[in-house]
Amino acid sequence: MKIVSFNVNGIKARLPRLLEYLAEEAPDVVCLQELKSADDGLPVRDIDAAGYGAVWHGQKGFNGVAILARGATPVLRQKGLAGEAEDDQSRYIEAEVGGLIVASIYLPNGNPQPGPKFDYKLRWFDRLRAHATALLAEERAVVLAGDYNVIPNDDDTYSVAAMADDALMQPQSRASYRALLAQGWTDALRTRHCHGGVWTFWDYQAGAWQRDAGFRIDHLLLSPVAADRLIDAGVDKAHRGREKASDHAPTWARLRGG
C-alpha cells in the first residue's frame, strides 16, 4: 500500500499535475494539503473519474485538506482538531481506508516569528499531540501524513544559515515535532534515509529547484502497528520539475498489507 502526502499548492491550478500523478503512479491513498478552494469548488468529478474516492475539508482561498483512496471511498472520522473552538482553519481531516486510519495535516507555517502566527502554530501542535495520544491508544495502524511546516534536523535543509530565522526551524517548532515523535510515532522518511539530504519542498524563488536548494517539511508519521508494516519511503521528486508543478513533491511511505 503506497500512501502519499502531497501539498498541491492550489488544487485548481495543479489539477492537471495531480491527475497526471494519479494516473502514472497509482498510489493507494493520497493525503492532499493546501487545496485553496471551498468545498463547492473542488474537482470532485475529476477525481472520481480518475478512479479515486475522496473526503474533503476545503476552505476558500487558502488551507484545505483531503484524503483520496484508489477504488474506494474513505470513511470520514473527523474534521478539525478539538481544543480551540474559534479556530475555523481547514487543516486536519481523518478517515479510515482499508482498515488503516489516515490523517491529512496542514500545520500552520508560523511566519513571521515571533508573533501571533507563530503562537498559533505552537498551540496547533499541542492540539495535534493531544489527539495523537488518543489515536495511539486505539493500538491500530495509523498514518499522520502532511505538510508539518517543520524542518526537524539540520541535515533536512540545504542551508541552516538561510533558514535560521524561519519559523520552520525554530527550536520551539523542532521541540514540538520531537515531542510528537516521542509518543511513539515513526518518521517514515527519516527511517529509510537516516543521513538526511532528502528534500520535499523547493521554493519558487531564486532558482531553488534548479539549485536543489530545498528542505524536508512533508512527513508521514506511523503508529507502532503501521511502522511494523513499513517497507520503504521516499519522494517522487521528478514531479516537482514538471510545468506548473506544486512547490512540494509527493512524499510517500509503502506499507505491507494488514
- Strand-pairing partners, residue 29, are 3, 69
Cell numbers 468545498 correspond to: 39
The rounded distance, in Å, linking the Cα atoms of 52 and 90 is: 21
Q: What's the pLDDT at 258?
A: 66
Question: pLDDT tens digits, the chain, 258 residues: what are they?
Answer: 999 999 999 999 999 999 999 999 999 999 999 999 999 999 999 999 999 999 999 999 999 999 999 999 999 999 999 999 999 999 999 999 999 999 999 999 999 999 999 999 999 999 999 999 999 999 999 999 999 999 999 999 999 999 999 999 999 999 999 999 999 999 999 999 999 999 999 999 999 999 999 999 999 999 999 999 999 999 999 999 999 999 999 999 999 986
Q: Taking the complete model, does pTM exceed 0.95, yes or no?
A: yes
Kind and range of the H or E run holding 251: strand 251-255
- Strand-pairing partners, residue 104, are 93, 145
DSSP designation for 42:
S
What proportions of the chain, in percent to the nearest 5, are helix, strand and coil?
A: 35, 30, 40
| Rounded (10°) CA dihedral 203, 121, 134, 138 | 0
Burial 159-170 (b: 16+ CB within 10 A, else e): eeeebeebbbbb
Cell numbers 520551539 correspond to: 172
The rounded distance, in Å, linking the Cα atoms of 224 and 215 is: 26
| 117 Cβ contact partners less than 8 Å away, ≥ 6 residues apart | 108, 109, 110, 111, 167
Angle CA 218–128–75, to nearest 5: 80
